[in-house]
Amino acid sequence: MPAFLTRERLTEFFIPLTAVFVAWTFQDFAIAKWFPEDPAYRHQSPLYWYDTDWVAALLAIVAVLVVALIRRRLDSASSLILHMAVGWWVAFLVLVNLLGWRMTPPRGDSWAGCVGMVGGMWLYFRRHGLTGVAFASLISGLIGGFGFASGQLLKLLGIWTGWQTNWHSVLEQTYGYINGLGVAAAILYLRNRTPHLDESPPVRRWTEAYAVFFVLVGVTYLNLRKNPAMWVKFNTVPSVLYGLSAEVWFNLGYGVLAFLFICLLLAHQRRPISIIPATALGRGQLLYLVFLWWIVVGNFERALVSFAPQRLVTEGVIYLNAALCTALVLLAPEQLSRSSIGIPTLFAFPIRKVVLVGLAVALITTLADWEVVRALYGNQAAGHAGLHIRFGPNATATKSKPAPDKPHP
């Protein structure tokens, strides 16, 4: 979307998105306080509805409507959120509740909501003339779907060899890698097919500092806040230090870091800090690398306390990927050549061709993957996971009697 939307339209997203994030934060605290549950028996929660994120989808709609009511208008950013949230509900109610399609027993059925969000997103793109963005979503989505199926095939091939390692991690990282190639393919195609956008004069300058703070402090905290529980579980860190729990100390440390970031961002607004590059490319490289290694180090801190040989398949590959990404982003040319060929709404993106070719490839590769797996396993379950049957009289999940999950080894 940043390749097709002006700065003014992009920064419209900050207020409605912030409202949604605030609503979800309140949801986390409220559910933890009023509806505590054992994850192994979450089906018994009064909020259980096929183990989906229906509360979050509902709160997103409420948050955006409250913002629209206060501002007495509904901007295009809020409209996109509503399209996706309403799409979530339509697909969930039809696919799961009406048709009874339980696709991932005994896990949740938020997949249906995800399908609805994509449908709502495409409807929004069509109504607002964002054909190029819809085209990019199709390219990356179809290649990502191929990656998910192919990653599962590689996992089952690995299990069949009898080698013992973290094959599920092979699935996850193969899917992530191929999905990344899909995003790259979409951006590469659009590189010379997007308009030159006028970014002056600056609009809502506060959004720059807000975005940096949200990514480097907010997103990292959300991902790393569970680390102390792992440290305590494996007796690496005492559960209580000087009368305060390890989680409280972790939160206090992040609070100090957040305050420091706010002070530095405010100071940079008044007088540029020397360590921050003057060019947009340099600032992007710095932000990318700090965020990348922050997450890599934080992830390793979580895994280190219970490290085993199998973890090399995960943590080792993550480290090598981060090293490769560091080299790629720093060696990127300072100025990429591009030529604008007009307004994207006037460019004929071959969406119909992509859909037809993509569906054909998806059908062929899915059947090929199925044939390979059947040739290896026949009617025997592959193992390393529970036996889950989606459809038919022997289905392992029904709408009336959801069974609690068994802990995974």
> What tens digit of pLDDT does each residue of 212-267 get?
999 999 999 999 999 999 999 998 989 999 999 999 999 999 999 999 999 999 99
- Pick 321 or 313 by higher pLDDT: 321
Global confidence as pTM: 0.82
Residues 16-27: tens digit of each pLDDT:
999 999 999 999
Asked whether residue 305 carries a pLDDT value surpassing 60, the answer given is: yes
- Pick 393 or 334 by higher pLDDT: 393
Both tokens of 157, joined, read: 């091939």
- Pick 40 or 81 by higher pLDDT: 81
Q: How far apart are CA 264 and CA 302, in angstroms?
A: 28
pLDDT category of residue 345 using cuts at 50, 70 and 90: very low
Radius of gyration from C-alpha coordinates of the chain: 24
- The pLDDT value given to residue 196: 78
**Average pLDDT in the chain:** 86
Q: How far apart are CA 42 and CA 313, in angstroms?
A: 31
- The pLDDT value given to residue 201: 63
Q: How far apart are CA 58 and CA 93, in angstroms?
A: 13
- The pLDDT value given to residue 401: 45
Both tokens of 28, joined, read: 């986390």
Residues 6+ apart with CB under 8 A from 77: 9, 12, 13, 15, 16, 17
* Residue 57 main-chain phi, psi, to 5 deg: -65, -40
- The pLDDT value given to residue 312: 84
Extents of the domains making up the chain:
1-128, 129-195+344-404, 203-334
Residues 6+ apart with CB under 8 A from 312: none
- The pLDDT value given to residue 404: 47
Identity of the residue numbered 353: K
- The pLDDT value given to residue 347: 62
Q: How far apart are CA 224 and CA 153, in angstroms?
A: 31
Q: How many CB atoms lie within 10 A of CB 207?
A: 18
Asked whether residue 408 carries a pLDDT value surpassing 50, the answer given is: no
CA atoms within 13 A on the CB side of 115: 14
Q: How far apart are CA 206 and CA 221, in angstroms?
A: 21
**Beta pairing partners, 241:** 244
- Pick 163 or 17 by higher pLDDT: 17
Cis peptide before 393 (omega within 30 of 0): no
Which of the residue ranges 130-134, 184-188, 280-284, 388-392 would you say has the lowest mean pLDDT?
Answer: 388-392
Asked whether residue 1 carries a pLDDT value surpassing 50, the answer given is: yes
- Pick 14 or 39 by higher pLDDT: 14
Report the C-alpha dihedral over residues 108, 111, 114, 116, rounded to 10 degrees.
-110
Residues 322-334, mean pLDDT to the nearest whole number = 87
